[in-house]
Chain A
């Protein structure tokens, strides 16, 4: 019993989790030279293990980092000023040309976006789920967000789709993007993935983020799935 109690204290000491009260008991025990020697030996072992694990993590991270290119260093101030001046002229010219010939790509949002349809609420479903979907179908998006935030999880992935759509409706596009990206990351269902990719495209469209949008649309087209044709048409409009 005594030995077990000591072991628990030593383990807490080695993992830096002793409470203030336990620290006092431990200091008393450390007055015994044999006990102290044994504990410090164990501490060295744990320190060695920590060092080994940290070095391993560093090696892995370095190997990962070596595959990530460093973008070139920025140029000197003078050069940068000249380049900025040239860029301003170029941007103004291009901007004027674009303004005369194009509208922002987000104007296409209204033509392509349809909220993800609310499912019919099944009898016997949980009260919270029914309430969230009811609010969504009644277009009470802010209230739906409050409910859906606690429902969406890796086990209940579909709710991310509703949650992201709520954010789109509430003009919180960055939150919508994060939500759809999360769903794409965790989804193990190809249909759900296709929906989330399309709605992520809608979020980029609404946010006028043409580069990630184009990449995503090409990806959707290549998959030849349920949104390929829509993606193809949208890409033609904005390219």
Chain B
């Protein structure tokens, strides 16, 4: 496989090139999984899960401009894996390992965002389910529009090009319409 250049990794992750994550799996999975198993005595499944979460964290850091330079990707990723294991141990006090899923990520976002108070966490967790259901009703095109804008932070020009809108303004109007539809649908589902 091609040598993974540190700067290239950053560049490709910034472009949200998901094949970069796959290349990182090929290049560093053995090193990280074996290293974690040796250092923490965790299972294969746990080590692999921590490794994948470490890659996603690396991606998040790059996309949010918290990381723009890497000296040694392999050691850096292993470092994230190990830190994740440590914080999981602190949290769970060595109880049974559970893989992080959408619910776990959602909870993390709520905790990491100081503007979102954690009162009535149970109700807020219901919003994940409600949003998922609402997303299922707005159609593929609207889903993509919202994803490109709010998650991938693409410009309206980019979105117009990808989705074949006549102009950035048309894409912007469609995005606003779609998001409004999603918000209204969640409110409607909340009342049920």
Listed in ascending order, the chain A residues whose CB lies under 8 Å from chain B are 7, 11, 14-17, 40-55, 57-58, 60-62, 64-65, 68, 70-74, 174, 177-178, 181
Judge whether B103 is part of the interface by a CB distance below 8 angstroms.
yes
Bits for B17-53, please: 1 = Cβ < 8 Å to A, else 0.
0100110011001100110011000001000110111
Minimal Cβ-Cβ distance residue in A for B24: A61
- What is the distance, in angstroms, from B164's C-beta to the closest C-beta of chain A? 21
Judge whether B106 is part of the interface by a CB distance below 8 angstroms.
yes
CB-defined contacts of B105 to chain A, threshold 8 Å: 50-51, 54-55
CB-defined contacts of A41 to chain B, threshold 8 Å: 183, 186-187
Range, interface on chain B: 35 or more
Minimal Cβ-Cβ distance residue in A for B105: A51
Minimal Cβ-Cβ distance residue in B for A53: B151
Contact, CB under 8 Å: A73 / B29: no
Contact, CB under 8 Å: A47 / B132: no
A52 with B102, Cβ < 8 A, contacts A61-B25, A70-B30 known: yes
Q: Which of A7, A43, A61, A72 contacts B113 (CB 8 A)?
A: A43
Judge whether B67 is part of the interface by a CB distance below 8 angstroms.
no
5 extra A-B contacts, CB within 8 A, seeds A57-B56, A73-B38, A181-B2:
A41-B183, A45-B186, A49-B131, A61-B56, A178-B2
Contact, CB under 8 Å: B33 / A47: no
Bits for B173-185, please: 1 = Cβ < 8 Å to A, else 0.
0001001001100
Contact, CB under 8 Å: A52 / B135: yes
A17 with B115, Cβ < 8 A, contacts A73-B38, A178-B2 known: no
Interface residues of B in 115-131 (CB under 8 A from A): 115-116, 124, 127-128, 131
- What is the distance, in angstroms, from A10's C-beta to the closest C-beta of chain B? 10
Q: How far is the CA of A54 from the CA of B53 in the complex (A)?
A: 10
